Amino acid sequence: MPNAAHRRILHDLLAVPTAPFAEHLVIEHVERFCSRRKGLELTRDKAGNVLIHIRKGGRKVARPVCVTAHLDHPGFVCDEMVKHRRVVGATRVRAFWRGGVPVEYFKDAAVRFWVDGRWVRGTVRSTKPLKQQKPPRVDTAVINVPCEVPSGSIGMWDLPESKVQNNRIYARACDDLSGAAAILCCLDTLARSRAACDAYVLFTRAEEVGFAGAIAACRHKTVPQKCLVVAVETSTELPTARIGDGPIMRIGDKASAFNPAASAYCNRVAHALTLKDKRFRYQRKLMDGGTCEASAFCQFGYEATGVCMALGNYHNVDRKRKRLAPEYVHLDDFDNLVKWFVALARAPQPYDGRDRDLMTRLKNIERSYKKLLSSSVGQPR
């Protein structure tokens, strides 16, 4: 049966407004979450990223796992109110747009701004593109609104609150709040359990503009260098990586292949889960529909890999119907992702930076054919 507490954690987080460089409401939500649970040590680095450490049962792991997700989603941030010379009483706001959505989806699009605990709805009037960007991307938008919107207010597409349909959850921002929610569910499980664990969690900012928060975390050495970093994402569904077929061991993205030993370790932990839990299943794929923070961590010297859930309507773009729409993920994928994170945090097998299974197979092959290789070099037998 679904975990009712975890469903509540998921729905609650998906309801929080967020945008790049305007993640403060999500961070406040995470801080309240941690304050209600024992054993969660929360700190913030100079860039505002959130690091959480949990250690229970006196267990100290030499190479702990750090699971990381980002807290932003493509969205607007109000800059200022603008005057309209021709229409008396008209109210408009100029807002920065940050994130990857094609320009054609902005025309007359419905928007909502979070103002003093309520939504203020508006309509996109016009957009201004970023200079020297190909394909063109929106920099700012002028939006008709019914009242004043304070500077710094978060704006998102005017899409419904999260709902479940056919075992899928639809929301304004599954990317990456559903991944962050899976991590919170993992922390909830660990905090309630007596089982020993030693793990870190990193929540980053401003991923949608190109991993700004993750890069800062690497520069500030926010995550201990000893950690195996596992970046969780939602990645657009591919023909070979379907929604509902399980969370995905992401061995690489559009930019790079991730650390092989780290990927092999996460894969080994997942395979062990399949032997114990008949409901657990996962996939192992190259998800090259986009780039994720694991690429950044690898470049800065961390042993890093990625896991993800296949995502529908990536960045709220329904390309089949050519309209904006809620994103969605499968709840079975979400539940199994939580199980995977819990297993990684409890470190069922030591990680030493090597692919032990592959090395065992290689040694067996070497042992099997060693005599043949050395007895008659180049001669058929």
CB within 8 Å of 272: residues ≥ 6 apart:
343, 348, 349
Among 99, 125, 157, the domain boundary falls at: 157
Are 119 and 266 members of one domain?
A: no
Per-residue pLDDT band for 348 (boundaries 50, 70, 90) equals low
Q: How many CB atoms lie within 10 A of CB 364?
A: 10
Residue 126 lies in a domain: yes
Note the pLDDT of residue 290: 87
- Compute the average pLDDT of residues 247-273: 94
Find the CATH number of the domain harbouring 148. 2.40.30
Domain assignment present for 374: no
What is the reported pLDDT for 132? 77
pLDDT for the residue numbered 380: 58
pLDDT at 254 over 80: yes
For residues 184 and 240, membership in a common domain is answered with: yes
Confidence class for position 143, pLDDT limits 50, 70, 90: very high
**Residue 135 shares a structural domain with residue 181:** no
**Is residue 167 domain-resident?**
no
Residues 6+ apart with CB under 8 A from 169: 10, 11, 14, 162, 163, 178, 328, 329, 331, 334
Supply the pLDDT for residue 335: 97
Could you tell me which residue, 63 or 109, shows the higher pLDDT? 109
Which pLDDT does position 379 carry in this prediction? 63
134 falls in which pLDDT band (50, 70, 90)?
A: confident
pLDDT at 232 over 80: yes
Residue 366 pLDDT grade (very low, low, confident, very high; cuts 50, 70, 90): confident
Rounded mean pLDDT of 45-50?
98
Q: Residue 174 above 80 pLDDT?
A: yes
Task: Give me the pLDDT at residue 176, please.
Answer: 95
* Residues 229 and 252 grouped into a single domain: yes
Q: What is the mean pLDDT of the chain?
A: 93
As beta bridge partners, residue 119 has 114
Q: What is the share, in percent, of the chain residues with pLDDT greater than 70?
A: 94
Per-residue pLDDT at 39 exceeds 60:
yes
Confidence at 373, pLDDT banded by 50, 70, 90: confident
Sheet strands (E) in the chain: 40-44, 50-56, 65-70, 75-82, 92-98, 110-115, 118-129, 138-144, 154-157, 163-165, 168-171, 197-204, 228-236, 248-252, 283-286, 303-311, 317-318, 323-324, 327-330
One domain for residues 112 and 54: no
Q: Beta strand pairing status for 228-236 and 65-70? A: parallel
pLDDT number for residue 351: 66
- 6-10, 81-85, 336-340 — which is least confidently predicted? 81-85
Is 33 inside any structural domain? yes
Mean pLDDT, residues 304-326 taken together = 97
Q: pTM of the entire structure? A: 0.92
Domain count, the chain: 2
Identify the domain containing residue 66 by its residue range. 4-71+173-356
Has residue 89 got a pLDDT over 60? no
376 within a domain of the structure (yes/no): no
Give a yes or no: residue 41 inside a domain: yes
Q: 343, 45, 12: which is closest to 190 by C-alpha?
A: 343
Q: Is the pLDDT of residue 257 over 70?
A: yes
Per-residue model confidence (pLDDT) at position 374: 81
Strands 283-286 and 228-236 turn out to be unpaired
For position 62, what pLDDT does the model report?
A: 82
Per-residue confidence at 315, pLDDT binned at 50, 70, 90?
very high
CB 71 within 8 A of CB 18: yes
State whether 345 and 225 are in the same domain.
yes
Q: What is the pLDDT of residue 58?
A: 76
Both 55 and 111 in one domain: the answer is: no
| pLDDT tier, 303 (very low <50, low <70, confident <90, very high otherwise) | very high
CATH at residue 228: 3.40.630.10
Q: What is the pLDDT confidence band of residue 354, given thresholds at 50, 70 and 90?
A: confident
At which of 105, 129, 157 does a domain end?
A: 157
Mean pLDDT of 152-172: 97
